[in-house]
A and B are shown apart, each in its own frame.
Chain A
Amino acid sequence: MKLFRDLLRDYRFAFAFGVLCILVAFALLSFFSPYDPSRWGQVPRDLRPSAQHWLGTDSNGQDIFWTATFAVRNSLIIAVIAGVVSRIIAVIVGMVAGYKGGTWDRVLMFFSDSLLVIPLFLIIVMMAMLIRASLNLVTLGLLLAFFGWAWDARLIRSQILSLREREFTQTAILSGTGTFKLVMNEYMPYTTPLIFSTLINNMAWAIGLEITLAILGLLDLATPTLGTMLYWAINYQAILLGRWWWVMTPITLSVALFIALYWLSVSISEYLDPRTRVQRVGAG
């Protein structure tokens, strides 16, 4: 609790946390939506924002405000699945490779390097087509997770490598601490900030990639996400027809989401360990 209060003193954290809370609350509103997001023609089409439809309506006959609540929720679900699952892989691979060294290290790093050099976008596009028939929020999240861990595993590994050289490792090993206990008790606290900041970056990456895949029409377009909202807006020429309320909603939401995640990551990692030179990989 004290940690949280300390963090709140950083205006960036306070702001980002606030925005994120608002967005999560917004996403939770979707459970109270009067509309089914998969149904069209429920409201008159192409209405400007009004008291009745706060953010107007789109050309499919859906209320943009309520669709957006689903969109934020679904994009967050994808991002959390992708982020958490890929963190689990990255942590395991990074720690085993870093701690065990030798053959383990070489084999694991070989796989992660291979993933890094395969043209990722190409593979993800092909995989998305391959599992098209069963593509939903969870499978998309897992797909992104599967391809999103390699770089971060490398970062974690190099940190473990440097930790291993430190004194306490020797002490712990000499005093007979088990490997698992050693890793959990001694290494985890040091690597947590790194894991956390890569988690947030990875979530931002997943949200961005989801938007790109959706704009290309590769996802289930009946499920509202930030990306599919943009897909419909672009394909119905909302920009040229001046339907700004339709285009601006997903854009504003995704910018807000990105900024919140970014500041959260910066602020947490600075607070937890100002000396760790965390290399933050681009989310782009």
Chain B
Amino acid sequence: MKPRIWLLISALLVMSLLMAGCAAEPAAPAAPAVGEAPPAEEPSAGLGDLPRHETLIVDILTGRVGTPDDFNEWVGWKWRDRGMQNLANEPLWSVDFATGKIIPGLAAGDPVYNDDFTALTIPLREGVTWDDGQPFTAADVVFTVETLKKHQGFNDHIFFGENVKSVTAVDDYTVAFELNAPNSRFHTRFLDRWGATWIMPKHIWESVEDPVTFKFNPFVGTGPYKLHSYDPSGFWTIWEKRADWDKSPTGIMFGEPKPKYIVFQYFANEGAKILAQLTHQADVVNVSSDGLKAVLAQCESCRAYRLEWPYVVNNDPAQTGITFNTARAPYDNREVRWALLLAIDIGEYMGMAVDGTGALSPVHIPSLSNYPDDFIKPMLPWLEEFTIDLGNGETFAPFDPNASQRVVEYAKSRGYKVPEDPEEQARLFGYGWYKYAPDVAEKLLVKNGFSKDGSGRWLLPDGTPWRIRCLTGTQLATGMGERNCVAAVQQWKNFGIDAEVYSSEATANLNAVGDFDVSSNWPAQEPWGAGPDLYRVLNHWKSEFVKPLGEVTSGHPSRWSSPEMDAVIEKLQNTDPTDYQATVDIGIEGLKIAVREMPGIPTFGYVGFIAWDQTYWTNWPGAENPYTQPYTHWGPFKYMTPFLQPTGAR
């Protein structure tokens, strides 16, 4: 009897090996698909063959690549930050939020619109070639737009179908568009702000039968790097510097990229990511607040964006905060929304949310890039005069220009070394926010029929207990949206409201169909992060996009709109975005309406945490030398590569 057991066990073991083997088979043939990368097919090719001192290793922000052999960025979601958008592709223009500039890539300059915005021409850069040596010309742009128009299934199919009447190549380096209707922001479809419409190499795509299912493997781009190899399981992608890097816009503008190879690697948990950096196996990692603390505490050669406290990247162009569902009572009442804002003690809030490291903004755009100078500072006098009506002839001016000082005090109480220079403080903590005025909040609520029960809990006008659930994602310890909900809930609890965090995997859907009271969705659509144009922010509040609850809204999840705002949006639409001052002025008009109506509470600018290891590479674009934006997952990472310096360490 006993031998039979052993027989069974060994049979099972053999079976397991066989199964592993058989199943491994289909994965292997994927290798030849990387036509451009014969060395990668050699089994010995590993980091052992990539000389460490010529290789830069960074982590993939959006996680393990689910479609490792598919580079067709134009269909679905393809993990483009694995190196596609940040190294191998050049867009027409890119946003650089650190310098506040728009960098022309494949384009040679700004688009030129006609007077009624129904036609435009785009000048293209000369001397650019694809990484297979073919020249880049206007024909590629024309081909791209026509292909996207033709095939259902492309992400931009509908956009180009509805907007473009015709596209033609005037000459090899000029493209002309005729539009179906006036659209002064048409060109922004090609402006890379973590995504844009990319140009296809015509000579490859024109012979493809079904461009929607085409895998575009290997990726052919105009960026300074080309595909070297990738993991069929999606854990890493390796890019190699082009021999003809001087034929890419990056090379033409900024010179030779320094790393020969750049590896994008995925770590499934933050702890392992940190351990990899501590052992110098990862040069750049995106971490959490506490992860950054752990790195800095244990790694001599590592640095953060700032050399001193608060270390973090606080110039990411997203304004975080709280969104109200204005289609649901009582959040349809702007005085209730204001009351909830005034119940927030922003000093405590910032401590709880991000340990005091973010920059406050009283308006619906973040305090970074050119925004403070163009928008926030000019708005300060208006903000100080702005009042809300408490009834009985009483008014209250909610703005507090010294609110940032409360965050400074919090940081000092934690023992952090806070810079004393007021200007530096303003840059770090913002130019003011709103007062902590629970008494005013109470008056506003009482005015609107709310009351308190015996134990100090707030009741709705109909006498039932007021319960707020703040809808947010699942990364409660690390996500910026989540941190806003967590902090807001604590503040509202202190104020006597039965508040709780509701974290869900389905946040996106619940926001879209309006199944929430309050959510940590950004309080306004993200701005471009550079330049004077707030069209992108304001347009999402257009009344025609608002749908009834239960249907997917096309605009902002707050479902707020007003005729006043519609008028501003229309005015902006008819303004040439290259007319700087006019565009700014209309933007300010829109922001004022948003402050008055407060469809969502803007709190602090997105806080990013990156750690750079300087063992192999130095001259990172830190706060003391912000020559470009600091992230490796943003498009302009390619413009950073010529400035990195190898240390020569092996």
A and B touch in the complex (CB under 8 A): yes
A residues near B (Cβ < 8 Å) are 38-41, 59, 61, 129, 132-133, 217-218, 221-222, 231-232, 234-237, 239-241
Task: Say yes or no: B505 contacts A129, CB within 8 Å.
Answer: yes
Contacts of B445-500 to chain A: CB distance below 8 A: 474-478, 486, 490, 493, 500
Task: Say yes or no: A240 contacts B352, CB within 8 Å.
Answer: no
Give the CA-CA distance A218 to B474 in the complex, in Å: 8
Task: Say yes or no: B502 contacts A133, CB within 8 Å.
Answer: yes
Give the CA-CA distance A241 to B501 in the complex, in Å: 27
**A contact patch SS:** loop
Question: Smallest distance from the beta carbon of A48 to chain B beta carbons, Å?
Answer: 15
Task: Say yes or no: A237 contacts B294, CB within 8 Å.
Answer: yes
B291 interface contact, C-beta 8 A: yes
Task: Say yes or no: B503 contacts A217, CB within 8 Å.
Answer: yes
Question: Smallest distance from the beta carbon of B467 to chain A beta carbons, Å?
Answer: 12
Task: Say yes or no: B294 contacts A240, CB within 8 Å.
Answer: yes
Task: Say yes or no: A236 contacts B493, CB within 8 Å.
Answer: no
Q: Knowing A40-B490, A41-B490, A221-B476 touch, does A241 contact B297 (C-beta < 8 A)?
A: yes
B419 interface contact, C-beta 8 A: no
Question: Smallest distance from the beta carbon of B483 to chain A beta carbons, Å?
Answer: 11
Q: Knowing A235-B476, A241-B293 touch, does A41 contact B493 (C-beta < 8 A)?
A: no
Question: Smallest distance from the beta carbon of B411 to chain A beta carbons, Å?
Answer: 13
Question: Smallest distance from the beta carbon of A131 to chain B beta carbons, Å?
Answer: 11
Task: Say yes or no: A132 contacts B504, CB within 8 Å.
Answer: yes
Interface size class of B (residues with CB under 8 A): 20 to 34
B400 interface contact, C-beta 8 A: no
Give the CA-CA distance A38 to B500 in the complex, in Å: 9
Contacts of B585 in A (CB 8 A): none
| Identity of the chain A residue whose Cβ is nearest the Cβ of B287 in the assembled complex | A237
Give the CA-CA distance A61 to B271 in the complex, in Å: 22
Q: Knowing A217-B476, A222-B501 touch, does A40 contact B293 (C-beta < 8 A)?
A: no
Q: Knowing A39-B490, A40-B352, A59-B290 touch, does A236 contact B297 (C-beta < 8 A)?
A: no
Question: Smallest distance from the beta carbon of A59 to chain B beta carbons, Å?
Answer: 7
Contacts of A133 in B (CB 8 A): 502, 504
Task: Find the residue from A61, A129, A221, A235 having the highest chain B CB count within 10 A.
Answer: A235
Q: Knowing A132-B504, A222-B500, A240-B274 touch, does A41 contact B290 (C-beta < 8 A)?
A: no
Contacts of A241 in B (CB 8 A): 290, 293-294, 297
Q: Knowing A40-B486, A41-B348, A241-B297 touch, does A236 contact B477 (C-beta < 8 A)?
A: yes
Give per-residue flags for B280-296: 1 if the beta carbon is below 8 A from chain A beta carbons, else 0: 00000000101101100
Question: Smallest distance from the beta carbon of A216 to chain B beta carbons, Å?
Answer: 9
**B contact patch SS:** helix
Contacts of B349-375 to chain A: CB distance below 8 A: 351-352
Contacts of A41 in B (CB 8 A): 348, 351-352, 490
Give the CA-CA distance A236 to B477 in the complex, in Å: 7
| Identity of the chain A residue whose Cβ is nearest the Cβ of B469 in the assembled complex | A133
Contacts of A221 in B (CB 8 A): 476, 501, 503
Give the CA-CA distance A41 to B297 in the complex, in Å: 24
Contacts of A231 in B (CB 8 A): 477
Give the CA-CA distance A175 to B288 in the complex, in Å: 73
Contacts of B274 in A (CB 8 A): 237, 240
Closest 6 pairs between A and B when the two form their complex, measured CB to CB: A235-B477, A240-B294, A237-B290, A217-B474, A236-B290, A237-B294
Contacts of B493 in A (CB 8 A): 38-39
| Identity of the chain A residue whose Cβ is nearest the Cβ of B505 in the assembled complex | A129
Task: Find the residue from A39, A61, A217 having the highest chain B CB count within 10 A.
Answer: A217
Give the CA-CA distance A231 to B476 in the complex, in Å: 10
Task: Say yes or no: A240 contacts B486, CB within 8 Å.
Answer: no
Contacts of A59 in B (CB 8 A): 290
Contacts of B500 in A (CB 8 A): 38, 222
Give the CA-CA distance A235 to B478 in the complex, in Å: 7
Question: Smallest distance from the beta carbon of A176 to chain B beta carbons, Å?
Answer: 46
Contacts of B271 in A (CB 8 A): 234, 237, 239-240
B270 interface contact, C-beta 8 A: yes
Question: Smallest distance from the beta carbon of B309 to chain A beta carbons, Å?
Answer: 16
Question: Smallest distance from the beta carbon of B348 to chain A beta carbons, Å?
Answer: 7
| Identity of the chain A residue whose Cβ is nearest the Cβ of B270 in the assembled complex | A237
Task: Say yes or no: A232 contacts B351, CB within 8 Å.
Answer: no
Give the CA-CA distance A221 to B503 in the complex, in Å: 9
Give per-residue flags for B157-189: 1 if the beta carbon is below 8 A from chain A beta carbons, else 0: 000000000000000000000000000000000
Give the CA-CA distance A131 to B503 in the complex, in Å: 12
Contacts of B290 in A (CB 8 A): 59, 235-237, 241
Give the CA-CA distance A240 to B490 in the complex, in Å: 27
A-B contacts, 20 listed (Cβ < 8 Å):
A38-B500, A39-B490, A39-B493, A40-B486, A40-B490, A41-B351, A59-B290, A129-B505, A129-B506, A132-B504, A132-B505, A221-B501, A221-B503, A222-B500, A237-B294, A239-B271, A240-B274, A240-B275, A240-B294, A241-B293
Question: Smallest distance from the beta carbon of A251 to chain B beta carbons, Å?
Answer: 16
Contacts of B503 in A (CB 8 A): 217, 221
